[in-house]
Amino acid sequence: MEPGEVVGLLIGSLCLLLVIGLPLSIPLYALIVGFRRRAASQQLLAQREPQLAHLLQVNTEVTQHPGPTGLVHGSVAYAADFPSRWATGWRNLVGGHATSLHEQVDLARRLATVRMLEHAAAQEALGVANIRIETSHIDMSSGSRGRQSLVIDLLVYGTALLPARDAGRARPPAPTPARP
């Protein structure tokens, strides 16, 4: 082989790599990052949920609570990861159950619930009753640049069962927890 042929072969290989390799590597990178992000969120929730398990989560009215009550809430606007958006897009074409979408909604619900329980814990609540979940928006549309996005907006709220106040002395209100 002559040096000119070697240079031509190298340039051709580089062009082939750019034309085929780069478009294939970007979705692969997005898949890896998406799965890592989902795993990190699940690990964070696995650490935070047991710390708040002592708070009562009852979905019926508590009539015998002697102390005051208050409203606690947690909300989240969760943008789903690339693997879920990709799988849901294909499910829209072929039909069937979008398992990845349900996983993302469940992850958003758990995150909003943890935020509500942290709000209750900051107020030194004994528990939370009458928990409600409001899904205000699930949107899968193309963004301004033509990219598909999936945003889940959730609000979780409930009645915080606060401890009875000391005789004649009111407890100062606890500050609202900062969001991470």
The average pLDDT across 82-96 equals 72
From the number of C-beta atoms within 10 Å of its C-beta (0-12, 13-18, 19+), residue 175 rates as exposed
Tell me the average pLDDT of the chain: 79
- In this predicted structure, the answer to whether residue 32 has a pLDDT above a threshold of 60 is yes
CA distance 24 to 30: 10
- In this predicted structure, the answer to whether residue 6 has a pLDDT above a threshold of 90 is no
CA distance 113 to 48: 11
Position 168 scores a pLDDT of 45
Which one is predicted more confidently, 176 or 125? Answer: 125
CA distance 38 to 85: 13
pTM of this prediction?
Answer: 0.68
79 token code pair = 């943008």
